[in-house]
A and B are shown apart, each in its own frame.
Chain A
Amino acid sequence: MKVEMKVNGTARTGDVEPRVLLVDFLRSNLRLTGTHIGCDTSSCGACTVLLDGEPVKSCTMLAVQADGRSITTVEGLATAAGLSPMQDGFHQEHGLQCGFCTPGMMLVGTALLEHNPDPTDDEIRWAISGNICRCTGYMNIVKAIQHAARARQTAAAAPRETAAAAAGGE
């Protein structure tokens, strides 16, 4: 079947069997390997992508179900200006160790801040509760998302300054 979707802002097409999972389409057909497979049962969230801005587990969705939709993967987080606040937050707060859960965590965090720009510790923990991390004990993931929330608020207050800072980031 022919599928057509917008992935990280670019129109992408493919010809897939109806049974092909979205995660396999992204990883194999589009070679966007930042989206990971951790469990096959929607439990771990390593395969999380944003579908029209909302987090979904791409191991539990068919590629054909994403036809006509807009997908954001981890590869779509950074911009020409540099890392997104979420990516920078994970680096600054040591929010990752092996890095395998990190794309899913960052995408969930990104979607959370769209709805709730200043989440509490508990709100962050519930938001990422569909994503498992085996390395960090979550302490620094929570801090990373809070870091991003602060950076976004600062950016909203002074857009020009922060864009320049982001461009010069690591």
Chain B
Amino acid sequence: MATQVHMHGRIGEPIKRKEDGRFIRGKGNYLDDIELPGMLHMAILRSPYAHARIKSVDTAAASAMPGVIAVVTGELMAQHKLAWMPTLSYDTQAVLATDKVRFQGQEVAAVVAETLYQAEDARDAIVVDYDGLPVVTSPQQAKEAGAALIRDDKEGQKDNHIYHWEAGNQETTQAAFARADKVIRLQTFYPRCHPAPLETCGCIADVNGATGKATIYMTSQAPHAIRTVFALVTGLPEQNIRVISPDIGGGFGNKVPVYPGYVVATAASLLIGRPVKWVEDRTENLISTGYARDFHMTGDLALDKDGKMLALRVHLDSDNGAFFADAQPTKFKAGLFHIVTGSYDIPTAHVTADGYYTNKAPGGVAYRCSFRVTEASYLIERLVTNAAIELGIDQAEFRKQNFIKAEQFPYESATGWVYDSGDYHKAMDVALEQLDYDAMRKDVEARRKKGEVTGIGIASFTEVVGAGHGADFDILGLRMFDSAELRVHPTGKALLRMGTKSQGQGHETTFAQIVTEELGIPAADVAVEEGDTDTAPYGLGTYASRSTPVAGAATAMVARKLRDKGRKIAAHLLEAAEEDLEWENGRFFVKGSPDRAKTIQEIAFAAYTNVPEGMEAGLEGVHYYDPPNMTFPFGTYAVVVDVDKGTGQVKVRRVVAVDDCGVRINPMIVEGQIHGGLAEGYGIAFMELITFDAEGNCIGSNFTDYLLPTAVETPRFELGQTVTPSPHHPLGAKGVGESPTVGSPAAYVNAVIDALSPYGVTNIDMPVTSDKVWAALRAAGVTE
């Protein structure tokens, strides 16, 4: 039988997204869109103080208000041993405060009522008597002698210090510094910011009193991990917990942790016997859930007289808030910060980190990055530009002199990473050409002669994404593999279920395309499901750009398993030997007789109707993929800015972004991810700030204070690419969603620093707002 192969959506094809249809019709199914019969609503009362002892909580008036079903306090939670919960960093966190409040916005009590309006009315009627305590809002204050002890609940905790962590080699680094001709130092603060997905966090807990089954709908990037954590926290048997992540309106790391509201809503549903919905408002989201960064960093770069990098020494103090609840692999207390040697062949490095409790919100997450890679990339790229400026060497040239060379891969870094692949010179060359760097540089000089303030910033980042492998990377002991289950139905259509969870990344399309590539089933015929722990295979979820490196690999591997079975079935159908069959684009054919062929659809039908004797029926399988190494996407970004001397306003004139994320599965989706990350990077560099006054009041608690870029401020982006496939990923892919947020803040700020370098300015902490630039220019004597 002559065979027509229908193909659509192989790797490299920019097919339109399969998931769009429901969203453009307003038929997405986000958490807050779900309404269950008999559902109640919960509102949380939060502390107005950053540090205060709770003297009393009076719920009498609230309990008597219309529609109120229950008022939940810390005391009530304590009776059920749920007043505290473990964090993802082996600390504890208060679910509802019993002794004292430790940050503004901390959960104190909750009201469950028939409607949300009633719940909020009653919440406002709860009376709490507080006794104020001294407030700590920075690591510097936290380590002062006599600083208020924030975690007096912890036995043996005598100060506010959380952890000390080191990587690299102190001795060889010291020796290298001793013989250096030049040492460049940069002290910089990467301030606290917030992922601020447009949809806030929330859950609906539905505990069935008759069966004991707890179904929890949750805005979670990692539903399986949450299920296990819930089993550990609540003592419910894990088979009776079902976590469902519906459509998610953006995550960027904010939806990885377990929040107290989830635990309270679940406890309330258990006690009341009705479903309970809790959805944060925007202020709750900004003041209490997973923040990012808050790293105070000092970097020293040792150089010889020719500008060769000899050694890197870095210290950082991290501000972890009131509970150490960072979402990161167990082994690494400062995340993957020790990738800080970046793209450079630095023979030795030493990194030290200390974490501190402060009276600020807990839950350090990687805002669109792989566990603190952004902070590391920012520091090294700023340091390198500063060094080039001080040495009087062109920043691009200085980078090229010190890059790890293409032939050095796989490359073991001074802090122990084994970079799988890279070609940094090539990415730089493509970026410089795309920018027309030499001409732009001349233009900058010409403009400066006319008195203009203008500059070019470069950042050549190296990412480290796709955690695990499981032996080195785990969260609470759960190894960071991921999974895919593929079922091919008799008609040749397929269902792919994953342990990951898209928050807008387009998984339903990208993962379908991997099946198309491996099995030849058109992407339109592959349904991708994620987010239901009762149906999907176990996985650690979507963050740290790990979906394509890990779950994408699992998808390729399970498809290959089915293809192997398909070969046996095809051999049976064609009455040929397996080894005489050749595979191409969705069909097996007999070598030398391309017309003697069976399509994957015919094979699928036979898998249920006509299998060889002794073979199990069906065409389905599951694969758990534990990657042999991380992947290391990289790129060079170049930014041109103009600064208004009169106002300090920075205008971004051009952004060229050359990314190498290995093989691109859907180039349209990849470019969309890069656009989004460059915009968030712009926001971080110039606008977004969560800060605190002396009393610990959070400034940046709503979108009129926490400024996000609109279409007007956001620059236009010019993208470019190089392709260096990952040698260990089955498809050569590396992951991309976070590269632009990791790489771009340094490029934006370096452009400003380059523009201000004639005035001797070497650092402005982010966000680089007009007032800071204006002040820097005035300090340098600019008066116009």
Q: Using CB atoms and an 8 Å cutoff, list the residues of chain A in contact with chain B.
A: 17, 19-20, 27, 31-41, 43-44, 46, 73-75, 77-78, 83, 87, 90-92, 94, 96-103, 106, 124-126, 128-142, 170
Q: How far is the CA of A96 from the CA of B702 in the complex (A)?
A: 24
- Report whether B117 and A19 are in contact in the complex, using a CB–CB cutoff of 8 Å: yes
Residue of A nearest to B716 (CB): A139
B248 to chain A: which residues have CB within 8 Å?
98
Q: What are 9 contact pairs spanning A and B, CB under 8 A?
A: A27-B32, A33-B30, A34-B25, A126-B711, A128-B711, A132-B703, A137-B675, A137-B717, A138-B714
Q: How far is the CA of A131 from the CA of B28 in the complex (A)?
A: 19
A34 to chain B: which residues have CB within 8 Å?
25-28
The residues in B between 71 and 127 inclusive whose CB is less than 8 angstroms from any CB of A are 117
B669 to chain A: which residues have CB within 8 Å?
94
Residue of B nearest to A20 (CB): B117
Q: A129 and B711 in contact (CB under 8 A), knowing A40-B282, A91-B20, A136-B676?
A: yes
Q: A90 and B703 in contact (CB under 8 A), knowing A40-B281, A98-B504, A100-B198?
A: no
Q: Tell yes or no: B376 within 8 A of A by CB.
A: no
Choice from A17, A39, A74, A142 contacting B25 with Cβ under 8 Å: A74
Q: Which of B26, B30, B249, B675 has the most CB of A within 10 A?
A: B26
- Report whether A99 and B33 are in contact in the complex, using a CB–CB cutoff of 8 Å: no
- Write the nearest CB–CB distance from A111 to chain B, whole angstroms: 15
- Write the nearest CB–CB distance from B474 to chain A, whole angstroms: 28
Q: C-beta contact mask, B495-531 vs A, less than 8 Å → 1, else 0? A: 0000000011110000000000000000000000000
- Report whether B282 and A39 are in contact in the complex, using a CB–CB cutoff of 8 Å: yes
Q: Tell yes or no: B485 within 8 A of A by CB.
A: no
A39 to chain B: which residues have CB within 8 Å?
282, 702-703
Contact-residue bracket for chain B: 35 or more
Q: How far is the CA of A33 from the CA of B704 in the complex (A)?
A: 25
A131 to chain B: which residues have CB within 8 Å?
710-711
- Report whether B678 and A137 are in contact in the complex, using a CB–CB cutoff of 8 Å: yes
- Write the nearest CB–CB distance from A153 to chain B, whole angstroms: 21
| Prevailing SS type, chain A contact patch | loop
Residue of A nearest to B33 (CB): A33
- Write the nearest CB–CB distance from A63 to chain B, whole angstroms: 12
Residue of A nearest to B251 (CB): A98
Q: How far is the CA of A98 from the CA of B708 in the complex (A)?
A: 17
Besides A34-B27, A90-B20, 10 other A-B contacts (C-beta < 8 A): A91-B16, A91-B17, A94-B669, A98-B248, A98-B503, A100-B199, A130-B710, A134-B680, A139-B716, A170-B16
Q: How far is the CA of A131 from the CA of B708 in the complex (A)?
A: 10
Residue of A nearest to B286 (CB): A39
- Report whether A41 and B702 are in contact in the complex, using a CB–CB cutoff of 8 Å: yes
- Report whether B711 and A46 are in contact in the complex, using a CB–CB cutoff of 8 Å: no
Q: How far is the CA of A98 from the CA of B252 in the complex (A)?
A: 11
Choice from A44, A125, A138 contacting B198 with Cβ under 8 Å: A44
- Report whether A134 and B283 are in contact in the complex, using a CB–CB cutoff of 8 Å: no
- Report whether A134 and B711 are in contact in the complex, using a CB–CB cutoff of 8 Å: no
A137 to chain B: which residues have CB within 8 Å?
675-680, 714, 717
- Write the nearest CB–CB distance from B321 to chain A, whole angstroms: 23
B680 to chain A: which residues have CB within 8 Å?
134, 137
Q: How far is the CA of A101 from the CA of B117 in the complex (A)?
A: 24
Q: Tell yes or no: B668 within 8 A of A by CB.
A: yes
Q: C-beta contact mask, B158-197 vs A, less than 8 Å → 1, else 0? A: 0000000000000000000000000000000000000011
- Write the nearest CB–CB distance from A159 to chain B, whole angstroms: 23
Residue of B nearest to A89 (CB): B24
- Report whether B676 and A100 are in contact in the complex, using a CB–CB cutoff of 8 Å: no
- Report whether A141 and B198 are in contact in the complex, using a CB–CB cutoff of 8 Å: no
B33 to chain A: which residues have CB within 8 Å?
27, 33
- Write the nearest CB–CB distance from A108 to chain B, whole angstroms: 10
Q: How far is the CA of A34 from the CA of B21 in the complex (A)?
A: 13
Q: How far is the CA of A139 from the CA of B668 in the complex (A)?
A: 12
B505 to chain A: which residues have CB within 8 Å?
97
- Report whether B714 and A40 are in contact in the complex, using a CB–CB cutoff of 8 Å: no
Choice from A43, A140, A170 contacting B703 with Cβ under 8 Å: A43
Q: Which of A40, A98, A132 has the most CB of B within 10 A?
A: A98
- Report whether A126 and B712 are in contact in the complex, using a CB–CB cutoff of 8 Å: yes
Choice from A17, A37, A83 contacting B24 with Cβ under 8 Å: A83
- Report whether A97 and B16 are in contact in the complex, using a CB–CB cutoff of 8 Å: no
The residues in B between 240 and 283 inclusive whose CB is less than 8 angstroms from any CB of A are 247-250, 252, 281-283
A38 to chain B: which residues have CB within 8 Å?
198-200, 249, 282
- Write the nearest CB–CB distance from A97 to chain B, whole angstroms: 4
- Write the nearest CB–CB distance from B780 to chain A, whole angstroms: 33
Q: How far is the CA of A38 from the CA of B200 in the complex (A)?
A: 7
A19 to chain B: which residues have CB within 8 Å?
117
Q: How far is the CA of A91 from the CA of B708 in the complex (A)?
A: 25
A77 to chain B: which residues have CB within 8 Å?
25-26
Residue of A nearest to B18 (CB): A170
- Write the nearest CB–CB distance from B665 to chain A, whole angstroms: 14
Q: Tell yes or no: B672 within 8 A of A by CB.
A: yes
Choice from A74, A87, A132 contacting B708 with Cβ under 8 Å: A132
Q: Which of B25, B33, B503, B677 has the most CB of A within 10 A?
A: B25
Choice from B19, B25, B196, B672 contacting A87 with Cβ under 8 Å: B25
Q: C-beta contact mask, B701-722 vs A, less than 8 Å → 1, else 0? A: 0111000101110101100000
Closest 10 interchain pairs by CB? A34-B26, A98-B504, A99-B23, A100-B249, A74-B26, A137-B675, A43-B703, A137-B679, A97-B504, A33-B33
Q: A94 and B710 in contact (CB under 8 A), knowing A87-B25, A99-B249?
A: no
Choice from A17, A92, A124 contacting B16 with Cβ under 8 Å: A92
- Report whether A97 and B506 are in contact in the complex, using a CB–CB cutoff of 8 Å: yes
Choice from A35, A102, A126 contacting B23 with Cβ under 8 Å: A102
Q: How far is the CA of A73 from the CA of B26 in the complex (A)?
A: 9
B197 to chain A: which residues have CB within 8 Å?
98, 100, 134
B247 to chain A: which residues have CB within 8 Å?
98-99
Q: How far is the CA of A74 from the CA of B26 in the complex (A)?
A: 6
Q: How far is the CA of A130 from the CA of B711 in the complex (A)?
A: 9
Residue of A nearest to B706 (CB): A43
B676 to chain A: which residues have CB within 8 Å?
97, 134-137
- Write the nearest CB–CB distance from B35 to chain A, whole angstroms: 8
Residue of B nearest to A33 (CB): B33
Choice from A32, A44, A100, A138 contacting B679 with Cβ under 8 Å: A138
A138 to chain B: which residues have CB within 8 Å?
675, 679, 710-711, 714
A134 to chain B: which residues have CB within 8 Å?
196-198, 250, 252, 676, 680, 708
- Write the nearest CB–CB distance from B639 to chain A, whole angstroms: 14
The residues in B between 671 and 689 inclusive whose CB is less than 8 angstroms from any CB of A are 671-673, 675-680
